[in-house]
Every structure is written in C-alpha cells, then in structure tokens.
Homo-oligomer: A and B are copies of this chain.
C-alpha cells in the first residue's frame, strides 16, 4: 500500500494526498510531526528526504518527494489527472509549475508566518510583501477560471489538485474566497468530487492538537 508521510497543516502534502485520494489508489497517511521538529531531524533527512520537506511518498521501492512529482506518479499509476492530450498534459504541468512557483509556495509561507510563528516573531514587512505577490497570483487564477469549470480541459487534473493546496485552510493569510468569485466556485466544485476531504480530515494533525 502507498504511504504518504504528511501532516494536516501542509498544503504541499495535501496536494499529494488529494491526488491519491481522488485517484482511487490505495494509500494511507503516516503522520510527520513537523511542529515537533521531525523534518529537521537527522533521521528524517537520512531515511526520508535530505531536503527536509514533507510530503514523502513511499510505494515499495519507490520513494518520492515534491508534491508535483508525486502527482505525476499518481497519474502514471492511475491514468488520471494528467490531461487527455499531449497539449493538455503540457498545460497541466504549466499550471502545476506555476502553482509551485507563484501560488502554493508563497501562500504556504505566508500562512506559516501569520499563524504558526509566535506573534512577536512575525515579520510584518515580509508578510505584507508576500500578500502583494499573492494577490497577483489570485488575479491570474481567478481570471483564468472565468467561464471554466476546471483549470485545464473538462475535468479535474493535477492543475486543480495543485493550485487548491492552501486555499481550503481556515487560518487567515490574506486570502478570502469572497474576493475571488471564480476561485470560490471552482473550490466548491472540487469539494463536491466523490471522495474529496478537507485537509484536516484527509491527513493527521491540525492546530487544535497543539492548542
């Protein structure tokens, strides 16, 4: 059975977990105690990921990191979410890269700084700067989704499963669904897919564990 080393607060892990979940492949989450320092431990870097990041997927001999690569693997195994033509396949990858570069990476960091750092350590200038960059990303995505149900083609692809990574979380980081009607409708559509779960239901660990 495929194992995904992950934790609820990680939108990057959610991107991989949601692809596994909606693909129909058998998988199980393995809790990574990120807030207890697990990903910074020597053991984790040696046995799971020298980059010190989650998620990590293990399927027999195959060990993968980077949500985008795990999504590609899920597509290889399940035939799903990769796009139905060479053109669509490239368009899917284009959005997955864009998400990694401009959306999830910056949203994840901003949410971390605003919610998971002690208040006196939150760097206000960095947060403001990142929120400005994120606004440009929301604009691009919202404009693209105008008149479209899905980011590429006429069904769910890794483009959707990547870009949604941080957008269901309740912690404030400057993103409000009400400001972006096309993103809002798309997130609703995606959440109506059979098997869909919220990150805190799909993966172990959430902020209330530490409250």
- By a beta-carbon cutoff of 8 Å, the part of chain A in contact with chain B is 50-52, 62, 64-69, 72-73, 87, 90, 93-94, 97-98, 100-102, 105, 123-126, 129, 136, 140, 143-144
Closest CB in chain B relative to A73 CB, distance in Å? 7
A66:B105 contact, CB within 8 angstroms: no
A50 surroundings in chain B (CB, below 8 A)? 140, 143-144
Copies assembled: 2
Closest CB in chain B relative to A170 CB, distance in Å? 24
The 10 sampled A-B contact pairs (Cβ below 8 Å) are A50-B143, A65-B94, A66-B94, A67-B97, A68-B93, A69-B93, A69-B97, A97-B97, A100-B100, A123-B129
Q: Which residue of B lies closest to A76 (CB)?
A: B86
A51:B140 contact, CB within 8 angstroms: yes
Main secondary structure of the interface of A (DSSP, over half): helix
A64:B51 contact, CB within 8 angstroms: no
Lowest 4 CB-CB distances: which A-B pairs, in order? A125-B125, A66-B97, A68-B97, A126-B129
What separation, in Å, do the CA atoms of A72 and B144 have in the docked complex? 23
A101 surroundings in chain B (CB, below 8 A)? 66, 100-101, 105
A73 surroundings in chain B (CB, below 8 A)? 90
A136 surroundings in chain B (CB, below 8 A)? 52
B94:A97 contact, CB within 8 angstroms: no
Beyond A66-B98, A68-B97, A100-B100, 4 extra complex contacts between A and B, CB < 8 Å: A52-B140, A97-B100, A100-B101, A123-B129
- Of B52, B93, B102, the residue contacting A72 (CB under 8 A) is B93
Q: Which residue of B lies closest to A125 (CB)?
A: B125
Q: Which residue of B lies closest to A124 (CB)?
A: B125
B123:A94 contact, CB within 8 angstroms: no
A98 surroundings in chain B (CB, below 8 A)? 51, 66
What separation, in Å, do the CA atoms of A73 and B94 have in the docked complex? 11
A72:B90 contact, CB within 8 angstroms: yes
A123 surroundings in chain B (CB, below 8 A)? 125, 129
What separation, in Å, do the CA atoms of A87 and B124 have in the docked complex? 42
